Chains A and B, each alone.
Chain A
């Protein structure tokens, strides 16, 4: 590639400007905020009326006649207002004694009467939709009729994968070591409205208990695939998430298996203990990559001497740089790049690949060969 070997990384920063575009799915709404205005997560940014549902009433089936005959029995016309239960078609039976009727199943306006099918389309009244700010910050710009961009100086911790959508809560550090697996015993009795942080590999019972006690989010190092499937209720096939029917958003920072949260992310979240935060598990690995996130206000209480600043973990590999290996046989280990050979090398699979030589402190300083594609920069 002509742009150099960029390593896909995640943003883990104590001080970063976050911009969130908050938009309606239409351009015909009303924006409720002005540039420069301060907003909180609950502030309504824009709202609009959405066209109501179109309900199709199959008159021939209801009256038991052909479409051609049904047209004659319809007693409404396009544009008429109808209330639920109103008679919209009727037919007299033998000697005019028995009437069969079709009623409007919803209130609305008659949109069409099909001459081909004898069906009636009733359009329900429009309903109101709105979009909230999701994060605390300032309105940077407004897109008339649609929404606004919210800007915030914040702490941002992106995870590698998540499930569940946008939620807001208070960050609460679990009383466990990063290397601990999370069980029910680690879930605090009172955690309603909290985003629980720490450990790895939570059991299904621990996740369910946290959700039952009202936690809105859970951020942990890793999870095993079977537990995730049980928590969500099905096996996720594609890394396109955010709409799962879960009561508590879940984010993992490292991957699947048994991996403690990286020190940098844990350090930042530790310092945000007790702070209000926004969390979103939505993940889209494909084009336009979207990673799950925890956003909390950059606060003066954050001692960010060594954590703030350029914390965006993204960039080219360099000798001396810290990296994490994301593939077996060294999956999860961190080390330092000691050499970046220019020419591709043959690796154990027999494939030719561009590699890096990485010194691993966790393997007594052993230097190993790793394909560059299997490295993530960690700062």
Chain B
């Protein structure tokens, strides 16, 4: 296998997911780097097969069949391309989230300080945080112990205290951990890996306490000072343990690891890297969501108060479109989901339908009403997962000099949300419900509604969830990965224009004028949603939005004109005159029906029609 970027011409990449292993073929064609082949097979990490490579090989064979390129020898080993460039591959790479991904427990002293930093380190490394415990989380010790006892994490991360500060509280957290004695998920004989990234003066105490139940790895403090976060060393330690402990103990992974000369990455870490690369290259603020069957991952890159691009990732472990669909129902409530529907449905019918989806997760909507119901669930899952993301994507203001230990407990005044919807440039949706929505305008509306987009936002979807593959490929050949990202991965749907304005404005009032390449395209009207498809044939165009009032903010500040180059896509410019936050008026059946009609999602009489598929 080759890893030198210049020598690469054909690269095979898999993402071993919880249910499906997806293989993609990337090739250097006459037309540049392209995604040229794909294959899928059920993931085989669980019993009865219990060997991830079986599913991977099945996906390779489908790539062979569909692309016509021979990539496997008769003994299932890779054909490495040599003299004949039409056969074989130069490199194999993989990401993995099979078996539930990387599952972690984090513990800290102050929830909004060390624990949050620990969560960010774990999430940034691609983990699912199963539980976050803090000395100030309001629970009694026995409650924390009981909770931890029932968790089987792959890795534990303990933090707390600034360097040189008090050691007492973080050692107490270690005591709680030893009292709970959680067992690692894999390997009966495996000692639980614990990363300590807290006050360096407490490291030896923590090691002494935990040595009976854990293998303790000490790294630099994630919060060495009140105003400084340093999650890099903890994140690297998580990656190393993921490979040395979690991967090597998962069924079949020792074989998979031997197939590739490049480290297997946790799927979300690979996606995060790809999103970061895109944000850095374009200088944009980006929000990317991957809504799956069981979980929803949110990635963001926003500028902090110092103007530096800061990336964050969260995973909402129980928000999803199939396995977790009933949990969206529990968290959003029947009314939360119904408010997005353009038709009447009984509460009991809605509940039973979503429960049936939960127990038969592979079924798909066959009627428009059923499709709209799933898309309503998606809006709520997006909304809930963004809320979760905002609570963790936090910036810390730097004011070192005058601070004392008491300030640790007054973090509120120095923390600020990094996510600023008015400053968001691009949103990328991924996951079946968004990528494979029958109409792109449906995907656009789900993101506009679910995220409550504001200002001018470029809308895009990941065509076939290629971001993990490109993320790991990017670690070897960033330029090629970026080329495929632009040409085959991201599909630009259109642009959302959503002014924010005072509540006193009346419905029907014109809020702003829209221009494409200096030609007026239309207006944004308070309370209305509209779509304008430009006659411009080029994908890119210059969009200008001119507010009609000083109080109307399109993202450039109240009353300020916004002008930027956008990619129009199939849906052109979608203008949303509904104010943010949404008013209750937006959530009537007739209001939703009007939105659907204006976007061409239903005809005048189509809302109650069930198309029965009768021949």
Contact = CB atoms under 8 A, between A and B. Distances in A.
Interface stretch (B82-90, B116-124, B171-179, B458-466): B171-179
B175 A117 contact: yes
A42 interface: no
B47 interface: yes
Contacts of A283: 359
Interface residues of B, number: 75
A327 B366 contact: yes
B356 A2 contact: no
A238 B351 contact: no
A225 interface: yes
Interface in B4-48: 18-20, 39-43, 45-47
A216 B438 CA distance: 47
B175 A119 contact: yes
A3 B360 contact: no
B43 to A, nearest CB: 7
A113 to B, nearest CB: 11
Contacts of A353: 364
Interface string A133-175: 0000000000000000000000000001100000000000000
Contacts of A367: 614-615
Given A3-B41, A348-B611, A367-B615, A114 B326 contact: no
B509 interface: no
Contact of A326 (B19, B39, B356, B370): B356
A237 B613 contact: no
Interface in B415-472: 436, 438-439
B323 interface: yes
Contacts of A369: 613-615
Chain B CB within 10 Å, residue with most, of A2, A3, A256, A283: A2
B62 interface: yes
A328 B362 CA distance: 14
A370 B359 contact: no
Given A115-B205, A237-B331, A349-B371, A287 B18 contact: yes
A351 B436 contact: yes
B151 to A, nearest CB: 14
A62 interface: no
A188 to B, nearest CB: 28
A2 B62 contact: yes
Contact of B58 (A2, A160, A349, A370): A2
Contacts of B41: 1-3
Contact of A2 (B39, B326, B613, B614): B39
B559 to A, nearest CB: 41
Contacts of B323: 238-239, 285-286
A126 B372 CA distance: 56
Contacts of B205: 114-116
Contacts of B614: 366-369
Contacts of A326: 356, 360, 363
Given A239-B359, A349-B438, A225 B18 contact: no
A327 B208 CA distance: 57
A331 B361 contact: no
Interface string B167-208: 110011001101101010000110000000000001001001
Interface in A281-327: 283, 285-288, 326-327
A238 B327 CA distance: 6
A86 interface: no
Contacts of A239: 323, 326, 358-359
A3 B42 contact: yes
B352 A256 contact: yes
A255 B361 CA distance: 12
A371 B370 CA distance: 14
Contacts of A347: 366, 613
Contact of A327 (B179, B294, B370, B436): B370
A296 to B, nearest CB: 23
A121 B175 contact: yes
A8 B438 contact: no
B59 interface: yes
B504 interface: no
Contact of B171 (A117, A256, A371, A376): A117
Given A117-B172, A349-B438, A327 B326 contact: no
A366 B615 CA distance: 8
Interface stretch (A33-41, A52-60, A207-215, A264-272): A52-60
Chain A CB within 10 Å, residue with most, of B61, B358, B436: B358
Contacts of A1: 20, 40-42, 62
Contacts of B356: 255-257, 326-327, 331
Contacts of A351: 364-365, 371, 436, 438
B131 to A, nearest CB: 15
B355 A114 contact: no
A262 interface: no
Contacts of A161: 359
A27 interface: yes
A357 interface: yes
A376 B351 CA distance: 22
B324 interface: yes
B580 interface: no
Interface in A223-282: 224-226, 228, 235-239, 255-257
Interface string A1-34: 1110000100000000000000001110000000
Nearest to A222: B352
A237 B436 contact: no
B611 to A, nearest CB: 3
Interface in B87-105: 98-100
Contacts of B188: 26-27
Contacts of A90: none
A333 to B, nearest CB: 12
A203 interface: no
Given A367-B615, A374-B364, A54 B179 contact: yes
B98 to A, nearest CB: 8
B540 interface: no
Chain A CB within 10 Å, residue with most, of B41, B167, B352: B352
B209 interface: yes
Contacts of B371: 349-351
B318 interface: yes
Contacts of A235: 326, 329-330
A349 B318 contact: no
Interface in B44-93: 45-47, 58-59, 61-62, 65
Contact of B19 (A225, A256, A287): A287
A202 to B, nearest CB: 15
Contacts of B611: 348
Interface string B541-565: 0000000000000000000000000
A47 to B, nearest CB: 17
Contacts of B202: 116
A256 B355 contact: yes
A328 B364 contact: no
A218 to B, nearest CB: 17
Interface of A: 1-3, 8, 25-27, 51, 53-56, 67, 111-112, 114-117, 119, 121, 160-161, 224-226, 228, 235-239, 255-257, 283, 285-288, 326-329, 331, 347-351, 353, 357, 366-371, 373-374, 376
Interface of B: 18-20, 39-43, 45-47, 58-59, 61-62, 65, 98-100, 141, 167-168, 171-172, 175-176, 178-179, 181, 183, 188-189, 202, 205, 208-209, 212, 294, 318, 323-324, 326-327, 329-331, 348, 351-353, 355-356, 358-371, 436, 438-439, 610-615
17 contacts: A1-B20, A2-B40, A2-B62, A116-B202, A226-B351, A235-B326, A237-B326, A238-B324, A256-B356, A257-B356, A285-B361, A286-B323, A287-B19, A329-B613, A349-B365, A371-B363, A373-B363
Given A255-B360, A286-B18, 11 more contacts: A3-B41, A56-B179, A161-B359, A238-B327, A256-B352, A286-B294, A287-B100, A327-B370, A329-B367, A329-B612, A348-B611
